[in-house]
Structure 1
Amino acid sequence: MDELIDILDKSGKLTGESCLKSVAHKHGYYHATIHAWLYTKDGKILMQQRGFTKKTYPGLWDVSVAGHVHAGESIEDAALREIKEEVGLTIKIHQLHKVAIRKGERKHPNGILDNEFYHVFIVELKQPIAHLKKQDEEVAAIQLFDIEILKSTNENISMVPNTSEYFQFIFSEIQSIL
């Protein structure tokens, strides 16, 4: 979906301008996204397999929920919306635990220039996975994995390439509250 998103400067501040996501990706404009890592108290993380028609990393396993922040939308509202859309889970704002804002700059082989500030949340998943409903257009599958998968990235499953430092950070953040 081609959403209207706010443009940020290189330090992550709003510029006061907005554009379609496709335009931001064509020109490399900075924009805000969210990552929400859902974990269980028994040391599992929910991961999604990206839809096979996605423009970037189709079919690879990824963060539980990720998405763009719409123009004028708060970061927290975007996280709540994306969690509801992608895995069918309704949560309250106090269940979001923000752990970082990270800057990512990536040029994809298909020409997409993805420059973003992603706001990273961890959220306890209290419902059985069977109660979740994936968004068929965006998500091919959802599955719980042992949190240790973050320490052995890409060895056991095909995951979206991220730095091992990012995965280790997420592992540590979740491990610290288990």
Structure 2
Amino acid sequence: MPDAAISDHVLLVHADGQVRGRAPRASVHTTDTPLHLGFSCYVLHEDGSVLVTRRALTKRTWPGVWTNSFCGHPRQGEALSEAVTRHARHELGMEVQALRPALPDFRYRAVDASGVVENEICPVFVAEAASAPVPRPSEVMELRWVRPEHLIHLAELAPWTLSPWAVRQIPALRAHLAPAAPPADAGALRSAALGSTP
């Protein structure tokens, strides 16, 4: 059985993205988080809706905040595509397919209300759902399938409702999520904010 501190780690990186080492995941996210490698993924339903999730209240960073479908960290020797598939199963109990890079150079730094810092080189992927989500309660407390145009307008008009990385990612993903997103009316925005299903 591998040591948990070794198997559950993040890859520390230089500013150019080159790996410089690894550290136990539990020790990395502090008020002085080193730059490390992560990823974000947005899962699309066959009807065109996007899966958004609300982070569990036990999460160390941004607990209870709505965000993209899921995020995670690759392990040493693991391809990003493998890490995305692994996290989809772990966090959401689901299979994904047609995985493709959408924002390969995305990077961000953000500080949550408790002072904990996220500091990541974080490629963003889009995938298609191959099964229904069955979320792990320690990771996800709620989820919703939302129309992409509603999500785009929500990020623009009410950014405080979403994680800081999602707020930056969503507008840049417009062509991947909703190539022809029409303007949303007030009723549509209210539905998006309340998390109604399509």
- TM band (smaller chain): 0.7 to 0.9
Partner of 2:169: 166
Give the paired residue count.
Answer: 172
Matches within 5 A, 1:29-178: 29-92=34-97, 95-101=98-104, 102-127=106-131, 131-148=132-149, 149-153=151-155, 155=158, 158-162=161-165, 164-176=167-179
5+ residue gaps, structure 2:
182-198
**Contact conserved, 2:50 with 2:146, CA < 8 A, in 1?**
yes
State the shift of 1:164 in Å: 4.7
1:6 to 11, 20, 23: 11
What residue ranges of structure 1 are gaps of 5+ in the alignment? none
Name the residue aligned to 2:33: 28
Between 23-32 and 154-163, the greater mean CA deviation after superposition: 154-163
Contact 2:96 2:127 in 1 (8 A): no
Q: Offset at 1:97?
A: 0.7
Q: Specify the SS of the correspondent of 1:53.
A: coil
CA distance in 2, matches of 1:36, 1:74: 15
Letter in 1 for 2:36: H
Partner Cα separation in structure 2 for residue 73 and residue 41 of structure 1 = 28
Instruction: Compute the RMSD of aligned alpha carbons.
Output: 2.6
Q: Distance in 2 between matches of 1:162 and 1:55?
A: 16
For the 8 Å contact 1:61–1:159, the answer to whether it is kept is yes
Task: Return closer, same or farther for 1:58/1:83 CA change in 2, 3 Å cut-off.
Answer: same
Distance 2:118 2:159 in 1: 27
CA distance in 2, matches of 1:114, 1:76: 22
* Pick aligned residue for 1:19 from 9, 16, 23: 23
Between the aligned residues of both structures, percent identity stands at 19
Question: Relative contact order (alpha carbons < 8 A, sep ≥ 6): 1 or 2 greater?
Answer: 1
Q: Which residue of 1 aligns with 2:196?
A: none
Q: CA contact under 8 A between 1:38 and 1:45: conserved in structure 2?
A: yes
Partner SS for 1:73: coil
Structure showing greater radius of gyration is: 2
Q: Compute the displacement of 1:12 (Å).
A: 1.2
Deviation (angstroms), 1:52: 1.2
Deviation at residue 88 of structure 1 after TM alignment? 1.2
